[in-house]
């Protein structure tokens, strides 16, 4: 069996797919979505395809090593996202070839279902916002979710006046009031804070007992992250912008975070996500894989979630359940998703639907954020 072709599809916002087909007719799907860089990964996938066509798709580790190491420059968001999608597709082919779900090739499941958490929050204290938030919460609670994540919106400077901080803090306590003590609440700071501001806000919200605060500071400086962790009494999480075991190493060694959040479509695919999780286990660090993109990425994460003992919960956005991409959407019951039972990733792409759709076009260069004085602000 040899790889015959590598195709790419761009069916919708935050969903970029790669399909690898073999000369036996088996195919596999992966996701190569890179937020803010809608065109960049496509070129990297075409470069990898030049190597892959004609190769045995079952030599997954060998191909991963080649894609990562054979060029002089390693890593980076673009290459790692391309590798991730290819890796997912190769695992999908392998599972279909052997007739089993991917997680059975990874050592077998250590759990029977995958706990997921949804995005929900109270953006501000206006009556209109609270009403919309209440409606969404009621819908999610009916599905049995027991954990939610939100974050402070807008742009945050080195420090903000009390009114800005106080409104966010009040929203967090109102969320706790609405859901009670049996539901877990997490807050994503999106790396927008300085260490001092992050610590100040964490101290303000500690009494509502967050599940975690995610990316309180940008990802480049592990010592700054540890500074926050050392001054906060609840768990700190990070990792969606760290792209391999090597980039997580200092987080582990310095015990800079309680939880890590590697992204299965950015950190090297199924192959590398499992290795990162196994490495974290040594440090008693739990894993909450990041996934704010499409259903193939989400499904790939769940196969790793099934086999790692230090899994805590899987991030899930609404459209990751399938939307108009999968022929059969994932179903959330009691806040969990049952393990896939079909071979490979266990999903079927509605290829006719995505092929007939014009490729989705996003604005090149991504979004633009500026402070009131005209200086560049973080996303």
CA distance 286 to 283: 9
CB-CB contact of 45 with 18 (8 Å): yes
CB-CB contact of 200 with 168 (8 Å): no
CA neighbours within 13 Å on the CB side: how many for 59? 13
Using alpha carbons, select from 156, 30, 125 the residue that is nearest to residue 87.
30
Length of the chain: 379
The residues that bridge with 222 in the sheet, in sequence order, are: none
Helices of type H across 7-158: 40-52, 60-69, 77-98, 102-105, 127-142
Which residue is catalytic, options 266, 290, 303, 336?
290
Pairing of strands 336-338, 184-188: unpaired
Question: What's the DSSP call for residue 125?
Answer: S
Other Cβ atoms within 10 Å of 193 Cβ, number? 27
Backbone angles phi, psi at 22, to 5 degrees: -100, 170
Tokens 């279902």 map to which residue? 113
Q: Residue 70 is encoded by which pair of tokens? A: 């054979």
Which residue is catalytic, options 13, 66, 119, 190?
190
Other Cβ atoms within 10 Å of 161 Cβ, number? 8
CA distance 350 to 298: 16
The residues that bridge with 128 in the sheet, in sequence order, are: none
Q: Compute the C-alpha angle 26/24/268, nearest 5°.
A: 45
CB-CB contact of 315 with 289 (8 Å): yes
Q: Compute the C-alpha angle 119/40/16, nearest 5°.
A: 45
Encode burial over 130-147: b for 16+ CB neighbours within 10 A, e otherwise: beebeebbeebbeeebbb
Please confirm, yes or no, whether 290 is among the known catalytic residues: yes
Other Cβ atoms within 10 Å of 373 Cβ, number? 7
Q: Which residues are catalytic?
A: 190, 290
């Amino acid at each position: 069996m040899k790889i015959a072709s590598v195709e790419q599809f761009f069916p919708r916002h935050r969903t970029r797919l790669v399909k690898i087909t073999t000369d036996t007719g088996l195919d596999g799907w992966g996701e190569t979505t890179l937020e803010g860089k809608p065109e960049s990964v496509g070129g990297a996938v075409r470069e990898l395809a030049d190597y892959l066509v004609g190769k045995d798709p079952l030599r997954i580790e060998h191909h991963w090593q080649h894609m990562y190491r054979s060029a002089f420059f390693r890593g980076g968001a673009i290459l790692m996202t391309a590798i991730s999608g290819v890796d997912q597709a190769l695992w999908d082919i392998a599972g279909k070839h052997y007739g089993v779900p991917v997680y059975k090739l990874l050592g077998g499941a250590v759990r029977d279902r995958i706990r997921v958490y949804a995005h929900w929050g109270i953006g501000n204290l206006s009556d209109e916002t609270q009403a919309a938030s209440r409606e969404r919460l009621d819908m999610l609670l009916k599905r049995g979710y027991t954990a939610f994540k939100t974050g402070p919106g807008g742009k945050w400077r080195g420090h903000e006046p009390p009114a800005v901080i106080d409104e966010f803090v009040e929203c967090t306590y109102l969320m706790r009031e609405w859901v009670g003590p049996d539901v877990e609440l997490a807050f994503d700071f999106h790396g927008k804070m300085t260490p001092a501001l992050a610590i100040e806000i964490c101290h303000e919200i500690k009494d509502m007992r967050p599940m975690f605060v995610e990316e309180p500071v940008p990802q480049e400086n592990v010592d700054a992250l540890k500074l926050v962790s050392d001054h906060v009494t609840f768990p700190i999480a990070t990792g969606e912008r760290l792209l391999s075991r090597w980039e997580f190493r200092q987080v582990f060694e310095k015990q800079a975070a309680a939880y890590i959040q590697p992204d299965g479509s950015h950190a090297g695919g199924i192959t590398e996500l499992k290795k990162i999780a196994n490495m974290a286990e040594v440090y008693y660090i739990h894993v909450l894989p990041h996934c704010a993109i499409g259903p193939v990425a989400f499904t790939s994460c769940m196969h790793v979630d099934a086999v790692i003992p230090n899994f805590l919960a899987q991030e899930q956005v609404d459209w990751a359940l399938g939307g108009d991409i999968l022929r059969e959407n994932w179903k959330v019951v009691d806040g969990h998703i049952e393990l896939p039972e079909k071979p490979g990733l266990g999903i079927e792409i509605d290829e006719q639907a995505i092929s007939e759709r014009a490729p989705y076009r996003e604005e090149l260069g991504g979004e633009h954020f500026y402070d009131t004085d005209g200086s560049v602000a973080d996303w």
